[in-house]
Structure 1
Amino acid sequence: MNARADSPFDACLKEALVLSAEWVPRWLTALHGSLQQREAAAGNLHDKQAFGRARVVLESHRDLLGERFLSSLADALHGTAEADHRPSAVRSSAGRSLDSLSFDDLELMDDQQVQQTVELSRVQQVVKMAADEDLVAFNARLSRAQGHEVVRHQANPLRPEVVVGALMRALGSLHLDEAVRARWLQLGAVPLGNELQKLYRRLTDQLDRWGVQPAGYVVVQNVPGRPAAPQPPRRTDSVPAASLIGTDALLTLDHLHQLLVGNLDQSGHGVSDHGASGSGNAMVRTLAAEVVTLMLRRIHEDNRLLAPVRELVQGLKPALLQLARTDPRFFADRLNPARRLLDVITARGLAFTSEQDRGFAAYAQQLQATVQALQAPTASLPELFPRLLLSLAQNDVVTLAPERGLAMQTLVKVEQRNLLAERVAAEIASRNDFDRAPGVVRRFLSGPWAQVVAQARMSATQPGGAPPADAPALRYMDLLPDLLWSSQLALASRNRPRLIKVIPGLLRTLREGLDSIDYPRPQAEAFFQTLMGLHEAAYKTQRSDTGPDPLPSRQGERLPETWVHPGEARDSGFMDDLSIDTQPAFLDTEPMASDWQRLREADARPAGPLPVGTWVDLREGDQDLRCQLTWASPHGTMFLFNAANGRSVSLTLRGMERLRELGRLRVVADHGLVDDALDAVAREALRNSRQIAGQD
């Protein structure tokens, strides 16, 4: 392998494919040997025949399986594996870890996909456990080869999930009997992990010989007095499901799936809806109760909520369990009043980081009243939830803040003006005389003056008709020839009479335009000083040559920043992009040494604009402001955050991204806590299913 011809990363992937042509046949040989051993050791005829059939089918498909496995792996490494149309949990065979299985994924599956998910999850777990020690070192080298300073597990195209996914696609192309495939995976998982361990070790050594140093693993440390980042809830007990299917049963993925899709046995007594949903079936009721109990337990363990809030939420349990008897799938319906009530309560609770925060006492009092209302004896529980939900919605201190409406209206106008200013700037830059003007003039015209013209056009009194000749929008554009000409030394110095004539009117119109947008006086005076210096130089220079000045360079010129009037900034709590880089970041939460599991979780977080509803901690000075993204402008350029104390903060898209890069804007929750809790229930069920499958 010639590492000089490629980057270390590309060379490593090529080396991996070469080595795969060696280890894949070895793995097939190991799988064949394991099948032979199990066939010989089988204690009954049925098992002997089953393992014998799996061995015979492998012998007939060995070369084809090896060829397709290598081809699928090569596609995965080059990013050309085609995505199918199955639910995302099943698409994880393309490289996603099933530890991220969600409740929504499960609802979209059919019975076969559920079984495949359990099967795939078990194989991923076994392979990963066998290869993990050498995978850690390999990740560190490969991340550095990709140009990362810290390890990014998900950026590794050779991680176990990808390799197992390639194997699953290869197996899927052979149309095998399910029993045969299951035995291959059961006996082939450990040998596959062993081969990957060897592969990672050899590739790590190769990267070391090429001089690639390991990247660092990181952990974000918590600052004293600041709420800790949410940790995955830990459980040492399993779900006691003696009432389900036996004394040793667990809540499995299949149980949960059957509950969601309503395919459970309807033979139970007391069916209350004529069997339409199975709500009267004892198993359905018990499963629903288990899910509700686990869901509330996850919420209780979520330290993003203050302890008093978590305790009050537990007071909802009796009412939710009672509801589950007649509506066992209410928690899966986002429009169900009980589910919405739980969503609103937990989302509202995220607004507070301390019991002393403004508004917390009122929120806690209302939550206490809600709990008491649901605990009171009532025969119409389903009718009570909508009334309580309406009461909560009418008292939202974040979304109903009086200043929020004004801030939204202001930001809509800001976005419209800035989008129009971009078009004006492009119109100005297309002029033939624009490129020869000094850089300071070009930047002024593309930035502040484009805003002046845009504001004048938006304020025109005759929309749809021709504006009068002295309309500001026309006058502000009519000065361009004189401004661009007078700022060029080679041209203006040859016609001093014209220069003397145009300067007074030019300066007067420029001042008028800048005043119309409340442009800061110090910045305006700085521009006028520079412009008058250009005019003075042109007046004092005698030019006998006729050639123009060299074309000024545009290198280093930045795009204009979003402009917000001072009054608009006050109305919307605008944080200027330029001020962001001048303030300190989360210096005490910079990435530090070596929690690779935390980094893997961070790798899985999506990038890009935050969805409306996201809760964040925004650092200002040495204080955090807990606020919610409550609104995004129609074109996605402006974003409004609101806090429980009535404060509004608005940011441009660039400003928001820059704050995230600096660690000054940290996501607390980008979706509902109830969603998180239900996802945890689904993963718990998957782990239980994986445990049972491993015992078979």
Structure 2
Amino acid sequence: MTHNNTSATVPTGSIVAPQQRIVQIALTQARPVVERVIETTRMSLQARLDSARTPGEHHAMQEARQQLVRLASVMAERYPDALRKALDEDTAQGDDKPTRSLFTVNFDDLELMDEAQINDSVERARARQVLVTAVEGPLADLDALVCAAQGLPRVQPEHNPLRPDVFLQALQSVVSQMQVTPQVRHDWMGLMAQALGTELRSLYLTQIDQLKQSGVKPVGYAMRQATGEVVYVAPAEAGVSPGFAADNDLYVASTSAGDPLLTLDRLRRLLLGEFNDAAAPAETHAPANDSQESFADRFAREFEDPAQGLPHIDPPATDFAMTVPAAFEALQEMNQVGQMMERLGTPRPPAAPAADGHPTAVQRAQVQGLGQALSMEVVALMVDNIARDTRLLWPVQQFIRALEPALMQLALSDPRFFSHKEHAARRLLQDITDRSQAFNSPEAPGFQSFMRSLMHIAGPLATATIESADDFEQVLQQLHAKWAEKDQALKQERQRAIEALQHAEQRHLLAAQISRELWLLPSMAKVPDAISRFLLGPWAQVMAEARLSAKPGTTDPGRYQELVDALIWSVQPELTRANTGQLARLLPKLLPKLREGLASIDYPADRTEAVFELLMQLHQQAFTPGPRVAAPAPAAPVTAAPMATPAAEPAQPAPLDDDDPWVAPSEARESGYIDISQSPESEGADSAPEATPSNAAPLQLPASTITVGTWVNLQVAGQWERTQLSWIGSHGNLFLFTSASGRTQSMTLRLLDRLLQQGALQVLAEQTVVDNALNAVAQTAMQNSVESRH
């Protein structure tokens, strides 16, 4: 793929070699690099041994140093192969690289991990933090250059084969093979990571110079803004990249000084229910008095203008709290872990903390034990991460914040609710956030109706006394019932589209099988190429359609198989000249049968007119004395895959390709099928969208990784439309997207890949909003563990 990008001026083909060269250089230098790392680590251990203050510390440093000296040659010998294996695995994964790093932990995996695995994860993350800090600046510049060498239009750090994670993974793999105690490995890894950082920094600077000398110029780089948004900018004039991209888009809350409350081990124990604190619900809150407006009415009054049709509302400023009921005012400023305890009070504006900044005695009294405090913190972080997710429109973000008091109450009585995907509260959050992604702006058709359903059905949870998951289950069922009313008509339309595509897929798979059988016929080589392509393509579809529609046991439905033999004979003048009478009797039946078959699949007439003209010329030759005249080329190509992108005809006709289904015009109308031959062609950077049409930065993913339920922005007739992948064919070659209004768009895998490359189809996210938020909680716990003094 060629990208038209002003900051990468060297042709892709001429700069792949430099990238391969720097990888080879890294492998060549692997042993001397790790030998220097080991020697630096030995010297650091010796220094710690010399300054040890206690017998225990002295013994630990001495043991770590002795074991390192004993195993140094073994590790140096094994490291190059470990690095080569890590690089090969990274290359083999290609675009299908897993989004989760080996140095992070997913929230839902914690319950499956034991204490040793938790410790290993923290150790890996701590080593990685040391390493990344050491190479941060040069790595940013190398990322920009390597991505340019790969022809990428922007920096994608995961595509840099020389990422520090790869080197560290290889080093940790070698260290794990050594027969030493966990304490010795722990004493090694921190120092080794620091030494490896120094070596990689030098390696990166050298490779940067070599790439620049090869004519590679860096592409733009990712910068994370204070709001958490990622923007891409060009490098500075001096050639230095202006920022260093984080590994993912998860928001990780900052922690207060001292040891944090939430660590990875404590989070795991919380999910396993190891904290047996008395589950005492927080003090309940009296509902608003009768004279106060209901939440739904108050919010709707601010969100909608009854005198206007669609509202014209800018995203809320910090005074948005002034427009919602008192129960929501305390939610507006609660964004940091240090304020967690302030969230546990009554639904009033948060009271000022004590002079020392700690929670008041009243606030402390509402939480009993470490388990409840951890539950509160996890809920607070989860809600905050959901409300920060840029995929959600601002009214939905505020609504999720409004549910925090109810979730806090639930956490005290049911602290593990967030760890069970099927828990009513978690499903409620997931369904609200997922359904809200159908709308790309507050002015989008149907969004007001969606918000009204939330206000009237789920809104009362904000000021309710929560006793159990049943409160959320009832709301969830009511919302589903409300949504089902609107979904029913859309479901019927979507089902018709799916049935049309399923039939097209079944017909095409059968047609591909028939096409291969026809291709093996000896007589197929005796006919003109245009006739062969017709039989292997459109006519195979006709025969497949007849077989799908026929009663079981029918041998040749429509007698279309019989027509193949007659057609092949009729286009060989050297044979028909010997029996013109038989040809004269055949023709009145042959041509009408051909048109009948093509009509059965609604095949466009203009695609076969050239074939019929050629047939007439070949048939006329039978009645003309003399040697056979070479058949002229048809006016328009008839390919075996008629809906594919027009291309130069192959030297020899080939059977149908299973991977490129053909959809009949009637099926195309039913499913909103986009013909690949009519899709917009890439015209370089100038034709790309000026700005992302969604409220979230799109992801660049291979089509094969997109799953049902994924929300995307699709450019249709020059307009952006928010739509959801609702069906994938059984063979992964057909895709159906459905918008909130019920509009369907279908396409082949080939077109989906093309649209992704052109930027005309943009994936909003791989993970769901709730999963992403909980993974951010785990990431915060991991970061706290890494920075903890214990």
Q: TM-score, with normalisation over the residues of structure 2?
A: 0.73
Give the direction of change, closer, same or farther, for the CA distance of 1:41–1:239 in structure 2 (3 Å limit): closer
Instruction: Determine which of 647, 659, 673 is the counterpart of 2:755.
Output: 659
For the residue of structure 1 that corresponds to 2:708, the secondary structure is coil
Is 1:404 matched up with 2:494? yes
Equivalent residue for 1:63, pick from 55, 69, 73: 73
Which residue of the partner structure matches residue 24 of structure 1?
34
User: Offset of 1:619 from its aligned partner?
Assistant: 0.6
Show the counterpart of 2:49: 39
Question: Do the aligned partners of 1:72 and 1:166 also contact (CA within 8 Å) in 2?
Answer: yes
| Alpha-carbon distance change, 455 to 10 in structure 1, aligned in 2, over 3 angstroms | same
The answer (yes or no) to whether the contact 1:220–1:589 under 8 Å persists in 2 is no
Alpha-carbon distance in structure 2 between the residues aligned to 1:506 and 1:576: 31
| 1:249 is aligned to 2:249 | no
* d(CA) in 2 for partners of 1:565, 1:440: 21
- 1:69-101 deviations in whole A, cap 9, x for unaligned? 334223334449999xxxxxxxx9x99745653
Q: Aligned letter for 1:679? A: N
**1:343 Cα deviation after fit:** 0.8
Q: Within the alignment, does 1:442 sit opposite 2:532 as a pair?
A: yes
Q: 1:112 aligns with which of 116, 119, 126?
A: 116
Between the two proteins, the alignment pairs up a number of residues equal to 644
Q: Distance in 2 between matches of 1:69 and 1:113?
A: 23
Secondary structure of the equivalent of 1:435?
Answer: helix
Could you tell me which runs of 5 or more consecutive residues in structure 1 were left unpaired when the two chains were aligned. 1-5, 84-91, 222-226, 241-246, 273-279, 593-597
1:172 aligns with 2:179: no
Listed one character per residue, the Cα deviations across residues 392-430 of structure 1 (whole Å, up to 9, x for unaligned) are: 223154576131222222222222222211122122212
**2:391 and 2:437 in contact (8 A); partners too:** yes
User: Secondary structure of 2:722's match?
Assistant: strand
Q: In 1, are the aligned partners of 2:661 and 2:734 still within 8 Å (CA)? A: no
Aligned equivalent of 2:512, options 422, 438, 458: 422
Alpha-carbon distance in structure 2 between the residues aligned to 1:72 and 1:509: 66
1:568 aligns with 2:572: no
Q: What is residue 729 of structure 2 aligned with on the other side?
A: 633
Is 1:363 paired with 2:450?
yes
Give the deviation of 1:269 after TM superposition. Answer: 4.6
Following the alignment from structure 1 to structure 2, what is the Cα–Cα distance between the partners of residues 663 and 527? 38
Deviations 1:531-561 (A, max 9, x none): 3234345544621899xx9xx9317998485
Q: Which amino acid aligns with 1:75?
A: K
User: Quick one: structure 1 residues 199 and 220, their matched pair in 2 at CA, closer, same or farther if it must change by over 3 Å?
Assistant: closer
Contact 2:104 2:121 (C-alpha < 8 Å) held by counterparts = no
When residues 218 and 540 of structure 1 are mapped into structure 2, their CA distance, relative to the original with a 3 A threshold, is farther
1:677 deviation in Å?
A: 0.7
Equivalent in the alignment of 1:335: 422
**Residue 453 of structure 1 corresponds to which residue in structure 2?**
543
In 1, distance between residues paired with 2:273 and 2:560? 68
More divergent stretch after superposition (326-335 vs 136-145): 136-145
- Which of residues 249, 271, 294 is equivalent to 1:232? 249
User: 403, 408, 411: which is aligned to 1:316?
Assistant: 403
Tell me if structure 1 keeps the 8 A contact 2:507–2:548.
Answer: yes
Does 1:260 find its partner at 2:300? no
Q: Structure 2: which 5+ residue stretches go unaligned? A: 1-15, 225-229, 233-245, 282-366, 634-649
- Change over 3 Å in CA distance of 1:541–1:643 after alignment to 2: farther
**CA-CA distance at 1:374 after TM superposition:** 1.5
**Cα distance in 1 between the residues matched to 2:61 and 2:736:** 62
- Could you say which residue in structure 2 is the equivalent of 1:509? 593
Per the alignment, residue 435 of structure 2 pairs with 348
User: What SS is found at the alignment partner of 1:263?
Assistant: coil
Aligned to 1:641, the other structure's residue is in SS state strand
CA distance in 2, matches of 1:23, 1:544: 74
2:611 is matched with which residue? 527
Alignment of 1:133-152 (within 5 A): 133-139=137-143
Given candidates 684, 689, 695, the residue that maps to 2:785 is: 689
Query: What's the offset of the Cα at 1:325?
Result: 0.9
- Structure scoring higher RCO (CA < 8 A, sep ≥ 6) equals 1
Q: Kindly tell me: are residues 662 and 489 of structure 1, through their superposed partners in 2, closer, same or farther at Cα, counting changes over 3 Å? A: farther
The answer to which of 178-187 and 149-158 deviates more is 149-158
Q: Deviations 1:261-307 (Å, cap 9, x if unpaired)?
A: 2234x3x45689xxxxxxx9621111111111111111111121111
Q: Is the 8 A contact 1:123 1:186 kept in 2?
A: yes
What is the alpha-carbon distance in structure 2 between the residues aligned to residue 362 and residue 494 of structure 1?
A: 76
- Give 2:547's aligned amino acid: R
Tell me the alpha carbon deviations over residues 299-348 of structure 1, each in whole angstroms, 9 at most, x when there is no partner: 11112111111111222111111111111111111111111111111111
SS at match of 1:433: helix
User: Which SS does the other structure have where 1:553 is aligned?
Assistant: coil
**Is 2:194 the partner of 1:184?**
no
Partner of 2:768: 672
**Does the alignment pair 1:554 with 2:554?**
no
DSSP 3-state at the match of 1:625: strand
Paired residues of 1:493 and 1:542 also in contact (CA < 8 A): no
Change (3 A) 1:207 1:487: farther
Q: CA RMSD in A?
A: 3.9
Letter in 2 for 1:512: E
Aligned to 2:474: 387
1:475: which partner in 2?
A: 559
Q: Secondary structure at the match of 2:627?
A: coil
> What is the CA distance between 1:44 and its match in structure 2?
4.0
Query: How many percent of aligned residue pairs carry the same amino acid?
Result: 36
Retained in 1: the 8 A contact 2:409–2:466? no
1:584–1:621 CA contact under 8 A, matched in 2: no
How far residue 476 of structure 1 moved from its aligned partner, in angstroms, is 1.1
Tell me the equivalent position of 2:338.
Answer: none
Comparing 651-660 and 427-436, the one that deviates more: 651-660
State the Cα distance separating 1:21 from its structure 2 match.
2.3
Structure 2 CA distance, aligned partners of 1:270 and 1:355?
A: 40
The one-letter code matched in structure 1 to 2:158 is Q
Which residue in the other structure is 1:618 paired with?
Answer: 714
